[in-house]
């Protein structure tokens, strides 16, 4: 509650951008969900490719960092959504911050600056919090197709937390690594299905 | 899983996603043939986005598939990013909590 209150001025500033004047030039909320879905589909498949390629994938530093970088870019995109979409500003702002922070922690882990389990101390609760926000608070109590998809998205994001812990227990396991990629692809298709 | 099988799987991801996107586009065209084809529609339509991601994946994955096909089996083992023991900084409170986490998960 305190954290939410402390973010309120930043959310208000972001939300005061001239949405109505820009309206013809920016994606509608449903369209921005589709763009995020495309982004998650891309990195989800690349996570599976990373699992299959092993050391070969990490011969190129750019490839090593593409996963945390994409999560951070998508987090920044979520903050842009706060600025452009007048609805659910606090939810989008918080999810954007969570994604930025989780991407940064994963980046530091991949730079060998922090151990995996330290990274998980942030990422696992972040996934649960993100799932709660999407599935519970973004749901708005409506069992329309959009409400149902938001519940599924929240469940998928929250389920990534135990998958992450399962993956950490045996870091050399290719199927466990690929499983996280599958979860990201499921999330991607849920985003792409919104409004259809 | 052999390196050859891994290379084939990696190489097929892009075309597979493209195929899904193409089927989705065709299904949309059959079910809703009256819809106009504007740049805005193509840019944000899920079916076209999946098709675009498939094309992008094909471009990105092809060199990786070739590298994996030429790699030795030990080169496709998963990379571990744990900090090296010599270069690891003094444990912070967060690391100590991380150690406790390790005890729980193992």
- 3-state secondary structure string across A159-185: HHHHHHHHHHHCCCCHHHHHHHHHHHH
The single residue listed with the structure tokens 């999946």 is: B50
Highest-pLDDT range among A31-40, A166-175, B13-22, B76-85: B13-22
Q: What confidence category does residue A75 fall into, taking pLDDT thresholds of 50, 70 and 90? A: confident
In chain B, domain spans: 3-80
Whether residue B5 is predicted with pLDDT greater than 80 in this model: the reply is yes
Across residues A42-64, what is the average pLDDT? 91
Least-confidence region, from A37-41, A160-164, B33-37, B65-69: B33-37
**Residues in chain B within 8 Å Cβ distance of A174:** 1, 78
Model pLDDT, residue A18: 52
B15-72 pLDDT, tens digit each: 999 999 999 999 988 887 666 677 777 778 899 999 999 999 999 999 999 999 999 8
Say how far apart CA A132 and CA B1 lie, in whole Å: 37
Q: Does domain A29-191 have CATH number 1.10.3470?
A: no
**Residues in chain B within 8 Å Cβ distance of A181:** none
Nearest CB among A45, A58, A173 relative to B79 is that of: A58
Say how far apart CA A181 and CA A193 lie, in whole Å: 18
DSSP chain A: -HHHHHHHHHHHHHHTS-HHHHTTTS--HHHHHHHHHHHHHHHHHHHHHHHHHGGGGGGSHHHHHHHHHHHHHHHHHHHHHHHH--SSHHHHHHHHHHHHHHHHHHHHHHTTSS-HHHHHHHHHHHHHHHHHIIIIITTTT--SHHHHHHHHHHHHHHHHHHHHHHHHHTTT-HHHHHHHHHHHHHHHHHHHHTT-
Share of chain A above pLDDT 70, in %: 80
Whether residue A70 is predicted with pLDDT greater than 50 in this model: the reply is yes
B71: DSSP letter: S
Q: Is A42 on the interface with B (CB under 8 A)?
A: yes
CA distance B79 to chain A (A): 6
Indicate yes or no: CB of A54 within 8 angstroms of CB of B75: yes
Say how far apart CA B49 and CA B42 lie, in whole Å: 8
Least-confidence region, from A19-23, A78-82, A137-141, B67-71: A19-23
Nearest CB among A48, A116, A121 relative to B81 is that of: A116
Whether residue B88 is predicted with pLDDT greater than 60 in this model: the reply is no
Closest CA to A134 of A13, A24, A33: A33
**Residues in chain B within 8 Å Cβ distance of A56:** 64, 67-68, 71, 75-76
Indicate yes or no: CB of B78 within 8 angstroms of CB of A172: yes
CA distance A23 to chain B (A): 13
Q: Is A46 on the interface with B (CB under 8 A)?
A: yes
Model pLDDT, residue A61: 87
Least-confidence region, from A19-23, A45-49, A96-100, A156-160: A19-23
Sign of CA pseudo-dihedral B47, B50, B55, B58: negative
Model pLDDT, residue A5: 53
Model pLDDT, residue A47: 92
Indicate yes or no: CB of A109 within 8 angstroms of CB of B77: no
Say how far apart CA B10 and CA A53 lie, in whole Å: 8
Q: Name the token pair of A17.
A: 């951008």
Q: What angle do CA A80, A131, A32 make, to 5 degrees?
A: 30
A97-149 pLDDT, tens digit each: 888 998 999 999 888 888 888 888 888 888 888 888 777 766 665 666 677 88
For B56, nearest residue in chain A (alpha carbons) = A42
The residues, any chain, with a CB within 8 Å of residue A156's CB and separated by 6 or more, are: A131, A183, A186, A187, A190
**Residues in chain A within 8 Å Cβ distance of B49:** 34-35, 37-38, 41, 192
Whether residue A160 is predicted with pLDDT greater than 60 in this model: the reply is yes
Nearest CB among A31, A56, A120 relative to B67 is that of: A56
Closest CA to A193 of A158, A144, A129: A144
Whether residue A17 is predicted with pLDDT greater than 60 in this model: the reply is no
Q: What confidence category does residue B90 fall into, taking pLDDT thresholds of 50, 70 and 90? A: very low
Indicate yes or no: CB of B79 within 8 angstroms of CB of A57: yes
Q: What confidence category does residue A8 fall into, taking pLDDT thresholds of 50, 70 and 90? A: low
């Amino acid at each position: 509650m305190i954290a939410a209150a402390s973010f309120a001025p930043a959310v208000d500033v972001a939300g005061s951008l001239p949405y109505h004047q820009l309206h013809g030039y920016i994606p509608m909320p449903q369209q921005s969900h589709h763009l995020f879905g495309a982004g998650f589909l891309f990195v989800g498949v690349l996570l599976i490719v990373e699992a299959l390629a092993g050391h070969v994938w990490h011969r190129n530093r750019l490839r090593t960092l593409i996963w945390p970088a994409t999560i951070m870019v998508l987090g920044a995109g979520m903050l842009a959504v706060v600025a452009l979409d007048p609805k659910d500003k606090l939810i989008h702002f918080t999810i954007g911050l969570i994604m930025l922070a989780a991407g940064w922690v994963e980046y530091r882990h991949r730079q060998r600056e922090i151990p995996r389990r330290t990274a998980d101390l942030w990422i696992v609760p972040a996934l649960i919090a993100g799932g709660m926000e999407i599935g519970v608070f973004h749901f708005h109590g409506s069992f329309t197709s959009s409400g149902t998809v938001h519940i599924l998205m929240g469940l998928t994001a929250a389920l990534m937390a135990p998958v992450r812990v399962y993956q950490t227990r045996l870091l050399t396991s290719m199927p466990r690594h690929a499983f996280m990629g599958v979860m990201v692809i499921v999330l991607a298709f849920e985003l792409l299905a919104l409004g259809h | 899983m052999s390196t050859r099988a891994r290379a084939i799987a990696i190489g097929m991801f892009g075309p597979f996603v493209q195929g899904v996107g193409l089927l989705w586009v065709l299904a949309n065209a059959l079910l809703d043939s009256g819809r106009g084809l504007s740049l805005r529609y193509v840019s944000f339509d899920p079916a076209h986005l999946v098709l675009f991601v498939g094309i992008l994946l094909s471009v990105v994955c092809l060199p990786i598939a070739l590298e994996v096909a030429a790699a030795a089996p030990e080169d496709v083992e998963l990379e571990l990013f744990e900090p090296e023991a010599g270069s690891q900084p003094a444990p912070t409170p967060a690391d100590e909590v991380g150690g406790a986490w390790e005890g729980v998960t193992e």
